Structure 1
Amino acid sequence: MIERVDKNLAFMLQYENVAWYENGSVKILDRRIYPLKVEFVTCYTHQEVAQAIKDMVTQSAGPYLAAGMGMALAAWECRNLREGEQIEYLKNASRTLSNARSTTAVRMAAITEKCIATAKRALSQGVAVDQAIFEHSVEEVNNKYIRISKTAEYLVDMFPDKGAVLTQCFGETIVGFMLKEMKKRSKDMKVICAETRPYFQGARLTASVAYDQGFDVTVITDNMPAFAMQNGMVDVFTSAADAISCDGHIVNKIGTLQLAIVCKHYGIPYFVTGAPDAKHPTIDSVKIEYRDEKQVLEAMGIRTTKEGIKGWYPAFDITPPYLCDGIVTNKGIYAPYDIKRYFQD
């Protein structure tokens, strides 16, 4: 067994509490209602896993592990087919899972296609394909956690010894390792979480992780960051990224752009975490996802507008490279205009 590196991280960052395959089903923590309720959605087909990803049952980096577990489930579904038919079935499952959300399709496909390669090896060795993909997915997420822990070291290098860090949305694993690294270095840092409507990932998820890991946490609404910065409450801003194009543009949860603009105005550094996407040579190759407008017209399931009023919900926005002070990766920190060097290094 591999040595798991999710120890001492918050509840929702433990692998089993993100997405987990077992006995012909995939269990996914429902992040739409966490932490007010701790419930899991159980999927019995890979199509149900894809739908759960589309429906935001799991968010941030959660879909990447869910996709691998969904591929293990797909292998279980087709276990009685001939070898060639199994591979074809898994290819179709890969397309279904990777395209559950359009903006992250490239990253998702990289995960599901590796699962197909794992399946081919398992078939040639005569071992259970679903178990092989499951074990591969656990090893992949473990390796990812190791890389992210290194990223956290570089990120915390940029933080003051005392002050406050502002977050955007829920950066998943990097949040847990960032907090762990700050505690390791005895940095006296508070955490400020913008609520991140309409799903409130900052208020519900990031704040929960920070609180669980022993930090002083304050939640502010999405229209408060400028005032907070103006009054000296923020020393550094950080976010993850759903995509980073090779020309240095940052695609992240809607609202990141305006935070970056305000940081630039007040001279507050903004560091994004994540690796560039080789399949996004320029920002033009990224497709922004637009979600159901009704989610803007309600808050946590409660309607806040009159019937007949329209909504608009782009899920992500694009921050240009000049607004970002550095892209923090597992290999070090790069200027956004120089991010291509990540692949050479």
Structure 2
Amino acid sequence: MERQDYMMPTLLQYENVAWYENGKVRILDRRIYPRETQFVDCYTYQEVAQAITDMVTQSAGPYTAAGMGMALASYQSADLSVEDQLAYLKEASETIATARPTTANRMRLITEKCLDIAKEALAAGTSPTEAIRQNTIDSLNRRYFTMNKVAKFLIEKIPNNGTVLTQCYGETIIGMLLREAIEQKKDLQFFCAETRPYLQGARLTASCCAEMGFKTTVISDNMIAYLMSSRKIDLFTSAADSISQDGYIANKVGTYQIAILAKYFGIPYFVTGIPDSDKKDKSSIKIEMRDPEQVMELNGIKHTLNGVQAIYPSFDITPPEFIGAVVTDRGFYSPYDLKSYFKENPENNFY
């Protein structure tokens, strides 16, 4: 399969997501992009795991970083016995997979697959490092190809000259939706909620939309009701970090309140992604609590007095009654009928 990142903006080109080469994983630092274009170089798998924890990369970026981190772990352990190499990679798998708790189930699918690839390579007397690296590139291609199918379904629901509201940074689906609009010659404009406190919507989603030539407007997170009451919004869409089979989705904190407003104003909310086979219901979703200091500052400048407190839940959970549909590679599913996705497609090879 040819590389699926053709026409993609800077953030979605493979080498800029996460890339292993010659004993180093290189990750574009999304915490400061586009203000600065800098890379974080990781020389150990532990540094890759820390980069994921520190949100050097977010959205689907950690899935690629996880695979490349496992290639680096293989490189680190190359001089050990086969038994010790596998033990080392098993430890690396768990460390990387649990770098962020809400998506640990998805990350574990990736790192354990890398461990299996390493076992096969070692048994065959070939390089596990190169095998893991190639598997990660194959996974990238597969994910981009799959999300392009999702984009083809989603764009059917957006009229020409339509207006789309986004939340946070939907990574692959954003790129694929933009590329599909260009290929279908469909003119769209985007409103991007800025997504405090990390500003992924303002810095990442808006950057992709603008770089690919679409009219792009950033709004602060507390302008949603004004926007919906004063402008025509055809669709609200987001990706999801978890989609449980009872129709609850976890996405960047703030998604829930936008979904409530969208329902009030009669705007459809379509979630993009693949349901999680191992998350049966809402109770299986774990919300990551991050350092509250990040709420009390912006770009390193503190804007509260000493003694003021904050909370920082990374995600919130939107109930199914606020979701119009979950858009998958197989089409639209009611959030109340996600189990049928697995009846038709029991093997989830998305990652």
TM-score, length of structure 1 as denominator length: 0.99
**Post-superposition offset of 1:3:** 1.1
Write the distance in 1 (CA, Å) between the matches of 2:284 and 2:40: 33
Question: Which SS does the other structure have where 1:217 is aligned?
Answer: strand
Runs of 4+ in 1 over 6 A off after TM superposition: none
Q: CA deviation at 1:161?
A: 1.9
Match of 1:110 in 2: 109
For 2:257 and 2:202, how far apart are their aligned partners in 1? 18
SS state of the match for residue 72, structure 1? Answer: helix
Residues 179-218 of structure 1 mapped to structure 2, 5 A cutoff: 179-218=178-217
| Matching residue of 1:140 | 139
Could you tell me which residue of structure 2 aligns to residue 306 of structure 1?
A: 305
Query: Cα RMSD over matched residues?
Result: 0.8
1:344 Cα deviation (Å)? Answer: 1.2
Q: Secondary structure at the match of 1:337?
A: coil
AA of the residue aligned to 2:230: N
Distance 2:209 2:187 in 1: 14
Distance in 1, matches of 2:154 and 2:90, equals 37
* 1:81-112 superposed Cα distances (whole Å, 9 cap, x missing partner): 11111111111000000000000000000000
User: Match for 1:35: what amino acid?
Assistant: P
Structure 1 residues 2-41: aligned runs within 5 Å? 2-41=1-40
How do 1:69-80 residues align onto structure 2 when only pairs under 5 Å count?
69-80=68-79
Query: Structure 1 CA distance, aligned partners of 2:249 and 2:136?
Result: 27
1:152 maps to 151
Residue 287 of structure 1 aligns with which residue?
286
Shift of 1:148: 0.4
**How far off its partner does 1:212 sit?**
0.9
Q: 1:240 corresponds to which letter in structure 2?
A: A
- Which residue number corresponds to residue 46 of structure 1? 45
How far 1:326 sits from its partner (Å)?
0.4
Deviations 1:150-207 (A, max 9, x none): 0000111111222210000000010011011122222221010000010000000000
Provide the rounded CA distance (Å) in 2 between the counterparts of 1:186 and 1:237: 21
C-alpha separation between the residues in 2 aligned to 1:298 and 1:228?
A: 26
Partner secondary structure for residue 193 of structure 1: strand
1:147, CA displacement in angstroms? Answer: 0.3
| Alignment partner, residue 167 of structure 1 | 166
Q: What is the CA–CA distance in structure 2 between the aligned matches of 1:39 and 1:138, rounded to whole Å?
A: 22
How far has the Cα of 1:125 moved from its partner? 1.4
Corresponding position of 2:90: 91
Gaps of 5+ in 2: 345-351
Q: Distance in 2 between matches of 1:182 and 1:100?
A: 35
Aligned twin of 1:250: 249
Q: C-alpha distance in 1, partners of 2:318/2:191?
A: 21
SS of aligned partner of 1:338: coil
Q: Secondary structure at the match of 1:146?
A: helix
1:233 deviates by 3.6
Q: Identity of aligned pairs, percent?
A: 55
The one-letter code matched in structure 2 to 1:111 is I
Question: Which whole-Å CA distance do the structure 2 matches of 1:150 and 1:285 have between them?
Answer: 28
- CA–CA separation in structure 2 for the residues paired with 1:303 and 1:163: 39
Tell me how far 1:307 sits from its aligned partner.
Answer: 1.2
Structure 1, unaligned runs of 5 or more: none
In 2, Cα distance between the equivalents of 1:179 and 1:233?
Answer: 20
For 1:228, the aligned partner's letter is L
The farther-off stretch of 251-260 and 151-160 is 151-160
Residue aligned with 2:221, SS:
coil
Partner of 1:241: 240
Q: TM-score, normalised by structure 2?
A: 0.97
1:100 corresponding residue in structure 2: 99
CA distance in 2, matches of 1:269, 1:108: 30
Aligned to 1:60: 59
- Deviation of 1:79 after TM superposition, in Å, equals 0.6
Shift of 1:316: 0.1
